[in-house]
């Protein structure tokens, strides 16, 4: 440690000095991992060891109380309301138009939400433009792990999207939908 306090990290330094820096970095990351496990009983990526989820969300101007893992990909114009949880490995693509996510949503791990696609540009060998449309996720929405929300769709307030679903049409308020493509499930009748 004494060596590190008196030397600068120089890309041209000797292998021995680089090994010392690497050993220090690994020990530091181990200490952070133990701390995170003791605090939250979880193991996370290096980015999440070095950042806090609420700070990540605040850096993008997301609403108060919202959190986002460090490895979430955020593109373009993405607006997120208050108290929304965005899990690890998500893609929030606002590059084709506004992507709006409401208050009190749970966006589970691996969810992808898009505002554009390149299908027509690809199959036309570049003659056609990229297709774009805004996407809207209401308040109190739950989106299950690894679901994909296609551009231009609206998911109404308090809707539930099941895991591994592909949403390519609007989902009404309060509906439960799942599958590929996602289908709204009939309301159960009370007996």
Q: Which residues carry out catalysis?
A: 117
Q: Phi and psi at residue 4, in whole multiples of 5°?
A: -65, -35
- How many whole angstroms separate alpha carbon 173 and alpha carbon 177? 11
**Contact indicator for 87, 109 with CB cutoff of 8 Å:** yes
DSSP state of 40: H
Query: Which residues share a beta bridge with 116?
Result: 132
Q: How many residues would you count in the chain? A: 191
CA 25 vs CA 9, 30, 31, 51, 163: distances in Å: 12, 9, 10, 16, 37
């Amino acid at each position: 440690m004494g060596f590190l306090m008196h030397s600068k990290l120089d890309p041209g330094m000797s292998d021995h000095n680089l090994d010392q820096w690497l050993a220090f970095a690994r020990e530091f990351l181990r200490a952070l991992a133990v701390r995170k496990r003791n605090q939250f009983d979880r193991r996370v990526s290096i980015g999440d060891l070095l950042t806090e989820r609420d700070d990540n969300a605040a850096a993008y101007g997301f609403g108060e109380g919202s959190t986002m893992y460090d490895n979430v990909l955020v593109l373009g114009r993405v607006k997120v309301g208050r108290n929304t949880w965005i899990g690890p490995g998500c893609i929030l693509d606002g590059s084709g138009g506004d992507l709006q996510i409401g208050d009190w949503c749970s966006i589970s791990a691996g969810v992808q939400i898009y505002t554009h696609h390149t299908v027509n540009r690809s199959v036309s060998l570049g003659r056609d433009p990229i297709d774009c449309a805004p996407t809207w996720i209401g308040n109190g929405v739950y989106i299950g792990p690894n679901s994909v929300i296609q551009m231009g769709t609206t998911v109404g307030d308090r809707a539930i999207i099941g895991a591994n679903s592909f949403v390519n049409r609007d989902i009404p308020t309060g509906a439960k939908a799942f599958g590929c493509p996602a289908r709204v499930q009939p309301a159960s009748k009370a007996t």
